[in-house]
């Protein structure tokens, strides 16, 4: 497969290595200073684009790919106010768009566990909270993974309707504390606290390998499909 990389930081380089180990070709490595190289590629030069750039670049990158007819897999967070526009553009143009806040298979199993625990805890008198810890280079807060966890928890909890970034809080919101430390790949902790005890679940990434592998597997799965997809679609395919 011919893969175009949009964003060539640490994550982009890890994706590149894994993709090449799996026999794919990298036809472009686009970062802030060489966007003209992407514009020089023809519609037939790219089988799929993998987009891990920056929040301020993601919307334009994804829009360009969809209009060009390139399937695009995106993992950039911090731009999701425009996600509905991208989905509409994808449908209008008959494009292929795959988005996930986190491509790790382990994290996506953690999403399922989070929702199941939230159902069990609903109405039991516990207060839910969340902490997410990432490296100091991460530009957005809270993380997209934390937002996905919060949305899953809110959907299963009667008295919650939203999330808030600490120190903000309210009775109808789960509070997310975002911390930035060193080179931490990503840690997410969901905690339930009452007067008598505390229950928590956590996912700790040891490196970027799981995220990058999931993105490449998603890119292998997407070409030939039309529409908007996410990790649940991929996991359902892997379960078959």
Could you list the active site residues? Answer: 134, 138
Helix (H, G, I), strand (E, B) or coil at 207: coil
The answer to whether 114 touches 53, Cβ cutoff 8 Å, is: no
The binding site consists of: 35, 75-77, 100-103, 135, 144-145
Rounded to a whole number, what is the distance in angstroms from the first to the last CA of the chain? Answer: 23
Q: How many other β-carbons are positioned within 10 Å of the β-carbon of residue 139?
A: 12
Q: How far is CA 54 from CA 19, 80, 109, in A?
A: 21, 12, 26
The binding site for NADP(+) consists of: 35
Q: What whole-number distance in Å separates Cα of residue 219 and Cα of residue 50?
A: 7
Torsion of CA 220, 223, 228, 231, to 10 degrees: -10
The binding site for NAD(+) consists of: 75-77, 100-103
User: In angstroms, what is the C-alpha Rg of the chain?
Assistant: 19
Enclosing H/E stretch for 39: helix 35-39
Q: What whole-number distance in Å separates Cα of residue 48 and Cα of residue 98?
A: 11
Q: What whole-number distance in Å separates Cα of residue 178 and Cα of residue 158?
A: 25
The binding site for (S)-2,3,4,5-tetrahydrodipicolinate consists of: 135, 144-145
């Amino acid at each position: 497969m011919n893969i175009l990389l949009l964003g060539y930081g640490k994550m982009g380089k890890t994706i590149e290595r894994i993709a090449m180990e799996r026999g794919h070709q990298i036809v472009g490595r686009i970062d802030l200073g060489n966007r003209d190289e992407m514009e020089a590629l023809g519609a037939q030069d790219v089988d799929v684009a993998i987009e891990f750039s920056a929040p301020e670049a993601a919307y334009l990158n994804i829009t360009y790919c969809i209009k060009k007819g390139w399937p695009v897999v995106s993992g950039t967070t911090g731009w999701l106010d425009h996600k509905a526009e991208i989905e509409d553009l994808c449908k209008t143009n008959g494009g292929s768009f795959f988005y996930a806040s986190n491509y790790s298979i382990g994290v996506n199993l953690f999403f399922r566990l989070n929702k199941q625990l939230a159902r069990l805890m609903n109405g039991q008198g516990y207060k839910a909270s969340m902490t997410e810890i990432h490296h100091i280079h991460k530009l957005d807060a809270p993380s997209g993974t934390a937002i996905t966890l919060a949305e899953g928890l809110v959907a299963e909890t009667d008295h919650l309707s939203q999330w808030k970034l600490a120190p903000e809080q309210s009775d109808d919101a789960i509070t997310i504390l975002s911390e930035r430390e060193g080179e931490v790949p990503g840690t997410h902790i969901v905690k339930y606290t009452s007067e008598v005890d505390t229950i928590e679940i956590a996912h700790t990434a040891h490196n970027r390998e799981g995220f990058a592998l999931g993105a490449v597997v998603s890119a292998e799965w997407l070409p030939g499909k039309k529409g908007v997809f996410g990790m649940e679609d991929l996991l359902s395919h892997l379960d078959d």
